[in-house]
Structure 1
């Protein structure tokens, strides 16, 4: 697999270096390898599944409570004593795609969709992103309970649809959840692709407006390597990507770096279904934002790092209700970096405030959640607002925009003032979104990869 070089070599040459092996890095890699370019992908995490970046639901038969424990163990808190205690990263090949819920809704065209992507390109990018993730809105439609719950809710004026899920069904009807492995499936064995786990990118070096090299630490041997590439892509998450840029001395020229941090307020409760809805099958239904209601609602039974059922509760008739509303962009909401840790990287800390408008919206969301829940059944766990960061959807810290004064990258995800450096992931999303962000981040990557390919052709 991959680029021909000796492991003991200290300098690696390639066309493109991608830092981060989550779904966004995987999209960049797939498109670039398909275009005939040599790609080196590195990640600080280890390879934890036989197929790199496989969704762990696909490889182990576990109860939801057991899988919730897997998620808890896979999350590394980034700054647990800060104002956003839930902020975490998954340090493994595949990142959070090894355990994500795979919910991939289309953002509302006026309330959530990126403003920097031209409308003429949006539709085609959306279709391609959905195809890459295998987004399917019919995965649960054969379920009697799914249809019963959806019809019951919509008969009272709601607008629930089947949840769009990144998945496919195998020949036995078993759901196979999408992840880094499915995105990379047909390039994993290409001689043009190399994946190095347990390699931490600590710095990139800029000279005359271009990146000329990157430093890696091989965490398995504690040795140093240098990568010389033509194009560089950082897709290590909304915190670890700006961490690399800060450690590389690039913060001074990028005043918006780490700023405009956004996240979701999460409301959560569990209900035992009323007998009239107690029919066979699974449920996964979704209601998006609309004018006057900027929050999303998902009703299903899913594994999160929270929400395990007590052992004495029969989960057969229990559903989770999860609502999310945005914390809108604010220049003062930010991640900053302080003293260096044992890995040589500066430690992150967060400052984030919910505005009065954010709090009022969340309060309205919880009130409606309570009303919705009581129409479905009786509470198993009462509605509550979860700690900030629980959504694991941090965004905005490397936001896209039209000016270097209030953004880090342009509409093509290229860093301002640097010819060959692109960023990927939820960090580039500038808008305060309620919906799950992965599909939108993929759309940005599809836009960005065209710029990378253009740079390689020169």
Structure 2
């Protein structure tokens, strides 16, 4: 291990819990611990670049007239970071413009170098070659493109991916996806029911927010009718959002809704510190000197990435923070990356061509780190709704009491519009849940991803997106290795994927594609250039298993309370703790783990 440790910062004393990462998982740890009276310091590698304004508790709230002036500058208000960027009015009005926001927020994890010659390049210009490949900003000459998750990406900033996520919060299927927290099935069900109820409250989940959308009901009720005799369930997606007073808009929830009290409640603000643009480089390990196998974290090494800015609160660029307990919840990749870097040895050998394991970090203290990784094979298409469905709008085909008034108001105002659906009619948000018979998660909706934008010449009221997410079996050989000699853009060990699907994974993926096509054609015809296709591996952004939690040290990194094996004060959080293969969006389940782990931390510290 490296022996050179930074000085402990004098400003940050009496910290109970240090947290690396400010996404919804890290935010949940922070909220639970601060609510319990603990002092928390949270470190985020990125900036706070999205805010909402909330009234400070104990202050007079301005009138609604005052709020229309500018809530950001009214006395008695405070900015809360980690706001969902899709809430901005320009994206509520045009969801396709949000695609570029997502693209801008994502950084690809591992990019294989390309040694293809560029014959039209100026001959005097520098060109890479087999002997001197480019290595900056995630370009990785060790990455085998046939083993890569080529679209796997991360978001750095307060709120993490929750600042642009879909807000889909389904519960895992208990027979396939959901991990075991207790060997007794009845007790396990009780634990999960309690955790899921808490997590849904934390995120503000609902499946009612699109009930009065014409498009939503066209899609939902058409599919319910088509599959009624086949035993297939179609229902609204459960989403972390709530409808605003203007019924055509929703507010999407993100980390800010979890962190809110830590900023607005003066008593809680005293116990909470957030450092932005600060990289958690590693945790400082004191190895057991008595042969009992227990190690202790004695500090977290933090580097201020913008030490010369006006917002810098101290002069030290790199320093250590001492706490009683340490939580690493920086995303599935970065959490494993920090733990690997914490075990990086001081060695001095030259890199070896071909990606030999000798140039990767030896994670001997956590031998299962970044093994058994899982991701989601994904199929996608877009359809243009069938003419018969659009013409049925005038007839109120489902006899819904609010429907005729919406159609009449639109046709009166826009008599020349051939589509009698209001321009601001909320989008469809439908799913057919993961099941034993159909083991994949589905999203039949209209939303913005890093792909799938619709041309301006097409009326997006006609478009429905279908995204189906499969699962892969956890296998030890599927893993990430971290390089000794190549670094990412943030000077951390470069991750390299070694991932292959099993034959069963491949067969399920084909069956999923066939199912998606069957569902799609019940609604309309394929949009040209958006026919059914498999997406680049990693594009679902639901990587898991990197710090998997489970009942035995043999094939897990942490126990079921997310406490790392053989460490007495180190916990992990995020999608990386999930040890099973799954198709559904994992955030709700990861929040469950964070709630459970937080309770364990609180109980442990209360004993001290």
> Which one of the candidate residues 90, 99, 111 is aligned to 1:61?
90
User: Does 2:285 align with 1:206?
Assistant: yes
User: Does 2:299 align with 1:218?
Assistant: no
Distance in 1 of aligned mates of 2:154 and 2:490: 16
> What residue in structure 2 maps to residue 237 of structure 1?
331
The answer to which of 167-176 and 365-374 deviates more is 167-176
> Which one of the candidate residues 105, 118, 125 is aligned to 2:170?
105
Question: Tell me, which stretches of 5 or more residues in structure 2 are unaligned?
Answer: 1-7, 52-79, 113-144, 183-187, 289-294, 309-316, 345-362, 394-420
Distance in 1 of aligned mates of 2:216 and 2:89: 25
> Which one of the candidate residues 349, 371, 395 is aligned to 2:518?
371
SS at match of 2:531: strand
Distance in 1 of aligned mates of 2:165 and 2:588: 13
Q: Deviations over 1:298-346 (max 9, x none)?
A: 1111000011113332212011000010121110111110024264411
- Following TM superposition, by how much is the alpha carbon of 1:9 offset from its aligned partner in structure 2, in angstroms? 4.7
- Following TM superposition, by how much is the alpha carbon of 1:65 offset from its aligned partner in structure 2, in angstroms? 2.1
Query: Is the contact made by 1:145 and 1:277 (CA closer than 8 Å) also made in structure 2?
Result: no
Query: Is the contact made by 1:242 and 1:398 (CA closer than 8 Å) also made in structure 2?
Result: yes
Q: Please report the RMSD computed on the Cα atoms of aligned residues, expressed in angstroms.
A: 1.6
User: Does 2:384 align with 1:309?
Assistant: no
> What residue in structure 1 maps to residue 472 of structure 2?
327
Mark the CA change 1:34 to 1:248 in structure 2 (over 3 Å): closer, same or farther. same
Correspondence 1:12-91 to 2 at 5 A: 12-13=12-13, 14-50=15-51, 51-62=80-91, 63-81=94-112, 82=145, 83-91=148-156
> What residue in structure 2 maps to residue 140 of structure 1?
210
> What residue in structure 1 maps to residue 123 of structure 2?
none
Distance in 2 of aligned mates of 1:438 and 1:210: 29
Distance in 1 of aligned mates of 2:307 and 2:554: 41
Distance in 1 of aligned mates of 2:95 and 2:490: 34
Query: Is the contact made by 1:254 and 1:405 (CA closer than 8 Å) also made in structure 2?
Result: no
> What residue in structure 2 maps to residue 345 of structure 1?
492
Query: Is the contact made by 2:383 and 2:526 (CA closer than 8 Å) also made in structure 1?
Result: yes
Distance in 2 of aligned mates of 1:27 and 1:446: 7
User: Does 2:467 align with 1:402?
Assistant: no
- Following TM superposition, by how much is the alpha carbon of 1:60 offset from its aligned partner in structure 2, in angstroms? 4.4
Aligned residues: 451
Distance in 2 of aligned mates of 1:84 and 1:150: 33
> Which one of the candidate residues 365, 378, 389 is aligned to 1:266?
378
SS at match of 2:509: helix
Distance in 1 of aligned mates of 2:554 and 2:202: 33
> What residue in structure 1 maps to residue 129 of structure 2?
none
Distance in 2 of aligned mates of 1:26 and 1:69: 26
Distance in 2 of aligned mates of 1:407 and 1:376: 44
Distance in 2 of aligned mates of 1:102 and 1:213: 34
Distance in 2 of aligned mates of 1:166 and 1:356: 35
Distance in 1 of aligned mates of 2:338 and 2:470: 29
> What residue in structure 2 maps to residue 296 of structure 1?
441
Distance in 2 of aligned mates of 1:111 and 1:344: 38
Query: Is the contact made by 2:226 and 2:522 (CA closer than 8 Å) also made in structure 1?
Result: no
Distance in 2 of aligned mates of 1:213 and 1:44: 17
Q: Deviations over 1:360-404 (max 9, x none)?
A: 111111112112111111100100000000000000010011122
Question: Tell me, which stretches of 5 or more residues in structure 1 are unaligned?
Answer: 1-7
Distance in 1 of aligned mates of 2:502 and 2:431: 26
Distance in 2 of aligned mates of 1:193 and 1:93: 15
Distance in 1 of aligned mates of 2:154 and 2:577: 17
Query: Is the contact made by 1:11 and 1:228 (CA closer than 8 Å) also made in structure 2?
Result: no
SS at match of 1:226: strand
SS at match of 1:141: coil
Q: Deviations over 1:200-227 (max 9, x none)?
A: 0001112242211010000011811210
SS at match of 1:125: helix
Query: Is the contact made by 1:10 and 1:225 (CA closer than 8 Å) also made in structure 2?
Result: no
> What residue in structure 2 maps to residue 4 of structure 1?
none
- Following TM superposition, by how much is the alpha carbon of 1:56 offset from its aligned partner in structure 2, in angstroms? 0.2
Query: Is the contact made by 1:132 and 1:183 (CA closer than 8 Å) also made in structure 2?
Result: yes
SS at match of 1:388: coil
User: Does 2:205 align with 1:119?
Assistant: no
SS at match of 2:41: strand
> What residue in structure 2 maps to residue 151 of structure 1?
221
> What residue in structure 1 maps to residue 369 of structure 2?
257
Moved over 4 A (4+): 8-11
Q: Deviations over 1:394-447 (max 9, x none)?
A: 000100111222000100000001111110000000110010100000001111
- Structure holding more strand per residue: 1
Mark the CA change 1:11 to 1:249 in structure 2 (over 3 Å): closer, same or farther. farther
User: Does 2:255 align with 1:177?
Assistant: no
> Which one of the candidate residues 341, 346, 355 is aligned to 1:247?
341
